[in-house]
Structure 1
Amino acid sequence: MTIGIDQLNFYIPNFYVDMAELAEARGVDPNKFLIGIGQSQMAVSPVSQDIVSMGANAAQPILSEQDKKDITMVIVATESAIDSAKASAVQIHHLLGIQPFARCFEMKEACYAATPAIQLAKDYLVPRPKEKVLVIASDTARYGLNSGGEPTQGAGAVAMVISHNPSILELHDDSVAYTEDVYDFWRPSGEIYPLVAGKLSKDAYIKSFQESWNEYAKRHHKSLSDFAALCFHVPFTKMGQKALDSILTDSASEDTQARLNEGYKSATDYNRYVGNVYTGSLYLSLISLLENHKLNGGDNIGLFSYGSGSVGEFFSATLVDNYQDHLDVKAHKAMLDNRKALSVEEYEKFFNRFDNLEFDTETELEVEPKGNFYLKEISDNIRYYDTVK
Structure 2
Amino acid sequence: MTIGIDQLDFYVPQFYVDMAKLAEARNVEPNKFLLGIGQTEMSVSPVSQDIVSMGANAAKNIVSEEDKKNISMVIVATESAIDSAKASAVQIHNLLGIQPFARCFEMKEACYAATPAIQLAKDYLANRPNEKVLVIASDTARYGLHSGGEPTQGAGAVAMLISHNPRILELNDDAVAYTQDVYDFWRPSGLSYPLVAGALSKDAYIQSFQESWNEYAKRYNKSLSDFASLCFHVPFTKMGKKALDSILTEDIDSETHNRLTSGYDAATYYNRYVGNIYTGSLYLSLISLLETHDLKGGQTIGLFSYGSGSVGEFFSGKLVDGYSEVLNVEHHKALLNSRTELSVEEYEHFFNRFDNLEFDHETELTSDQHGIFYLNDINDHIRNYNTLK
Alignment of 1:154-233 (within 5 A): 154-233=154-233
For residues 86-136 of structure 1, the C-alpha deviation after alignment (integer angstroms, 9 at most, x for no partner) is: 000000000000000000000000000000000000000000000000000
For residues 286-344 of structure 1, the C-alpha deviation after alignment (integer angstroms, 9 at most, x for no partner) is: 00000000000000000000000000000000000000000000000010000000000
- Is contact 1:14-1:368 (8 Å) kept? no
Distance 1:324 1:367 in 2: 30
Secondary structure of the equivalent of 1:27? coil
- Is contact 1:339-1:367 (8 Å) kept? no
Task: Look up the equivalent residue of 1:129 and give its one-letter code.
Answer: P
1:355 Cα deviation after fit? 0.1
Distance 1:252 1:88 in 2: 45
Question: 2:36 corresponds to which residue?
Answer: 36
Secondary structure of the equivalent of 1:61? coil
Distance 1:192 1:371 in 2: 30
TM-score (norm 2): 1.00
Number of equivalent positions: 389
Alignment of 1:284-299 (within 5 A): 284-299=284-299
Question: 2:2 corresponds to which residue?
Answer: 2
Question: 2:132 corresponds to which residue?
Answer: 132
For residues 14-38 of structure 1, the C-alpha deviation after alignment (integer angstroms, 9 at most, x for no partner) is: 0000000000000000000000000
Question: 1:351 corresponds to which residue?
Answer: 351
Task: Look up the equivalent residue of 1:11 and give its one-letter code.
Answer: Y
Secondary structure of the equivalent of 1:258? helix
For residues 147-170 of structure 1, the C-alpha deviation after alignment (integer angstroms, 9 at most, x for no partner) is: 000000000000000000000010
Question: 2:141 corresponds to which residue?
Answer: 141
Matched, 1:59 2:84: no
- Is contact 1:3-1:170 (8 Å) kept? yes
Task: Look up the equivalent residue of 1:31 and give its one-letter code.
Answer: N
Distance 1:362 1:302 in 2: 44
**Greater CA deviation, 250-259 or 161-170?**
250-259
**Greater CA deviation, 101-110 or 362-371?**
362-371
Task: Look up the equivalent residue of 1:199 and give its one-letter code.
Answer: A
Question: 1:245 corresponds to which residue?
Answer: 245
Structure 2 gap ranges (5+) = none
Secondary structure of the equivalent of 2:99? coil
Which 4+ stretches in 1 moved above 3 angstroms?
none
- Is contact 1:14-1:367 (8 Å) kept? no
Distance 1:123 1:28 in 2: 48
Question: 2:280 corresponds to which residue?
Answer: 280
1:251 Cα deviation after fit? 2.4
Question: 1:236 corresponds to which residue?
Answer: 236
Distance 1:107 1:235 in 2: 19
1:367 Cα deviation after fit? 5.6
Question: 2:80 corresponds to which residue?
Answer: 80
Structure 1 gap ranges (5+) = none
Distance 2:251 2:86 in 1: 50
Question: 1:17 corresponds to which residue?
Answer: 17
Task: Look up the equivalent residue of 2:126 and give its one-letter code.
Answer: V
- Is contact 1:340-1:367 (8 Å) kept? no
Task: Look up the equivalent residue of 1:51 and give its one-letter code.
Answer: I
Task: Look up the equivalent residue of 1:91 and give its one-letter code.
Answer: Q
Distance 2:386 2:158 in 1: 20
Task: Look up the equivalent residue of 1:335 and give its one-letter code.
Answer: L
- Is contact 1:368-1:388 (8 Å) kept? no
Distance 2:352 2:368 in 1: 20
Question: 1:256 corresponds to which residue?
Answer: 256
Secondary structure of the equivalent of 1:62? coil
1:368 Cα deviation after fit? 5.3
Distance 1:336 1:366 in 2: 15
Distance 1:68 1:299 in 2: 31
Q: Equivalent pairs: percent with the same residue?
A: 79
For residues 61-85 of structure 1, the C-alpha deviation after alignment (integer angstroms, 9 at most, x for no partner) is: 0111000000000000000000000
Distance 1:207 1:226 in 2: 22
